[in-house]
Structure 1
Amino acid sequence: MGWDMLAVVLDHMRDRLQAGARADLLEMAQVAYVKSRTARLLWENGFKTLRALAEADPKDLLPVLMMAQPRSMDLQGSQRISAKLLAKAEIIVGSANKIWESQLQLELEE
């Protein structure tokens, strides 16, 4: 294995370590407010790609974000928490859109 190949492998592993996520979740872990636990919950609830997350309605993310909360059972009735999570979901979708659009732009330029 040449040094170039080793550099590619190490670069990939560095990204995984920084994100704290497995390889299948790396792309999603780039999104604002999405860490490894939230990325895994999104994956398990049907948001398997960055594109799916970018095209999602923020309201559809609320149940997943509730699951990601440490005390989700206590928080489900609170409208204040729901409003905060909806704002967070809107930021997540916006961030995913930004990343998705930049990836599309890079593909078009190649």
Structure 2
Amino acid sequence: MSDSGSESIGEYDLHLSSLTVDQFVQTVEQNGGHMILLKMVGRTRMINIWRAGWPLNRNQPMEEFLLDAVTAFNNQQRASHTRPTTPIFDRGSVALEVDLEGDVFVTATKRIEQK
């Protein structure tokens, strides 16, 4: 899932029920780089969760943050007369794509177990 000039830092199993947004960000940035984009794999397209410059409540539970973001994304889709999409769940997990910016541009897929 990486473009030329990019490298993938792999997949992690993270439990949403035990993470705040801040803990999630710290985990994905632990290998260097700065999170600039967060997307979730949806049934018909990627769901934009967060991008650099958007507000980010670091104390919010991660599950709540993702639910709010998916709801907001689909409300935007409806407002622009575009069909909403739903996350793809695989054995209780959703796939998140995190783009990091540092010395190199890194794309990683994170699997998050939903409790």
TM-score bracket, normalised by the shorter chain, equals under 0.3
Which structure's relative contact order is higher, taking Cα pairs within 8 Å and 6+ residues apart?
2
Normalising by structure 2, what TM-score?
0.26
Normalising by structure 1, what TM-score?
0.27
Q: Which has the higher strand share?
A: 2
Q: Which has the higher helix share?
A: 1
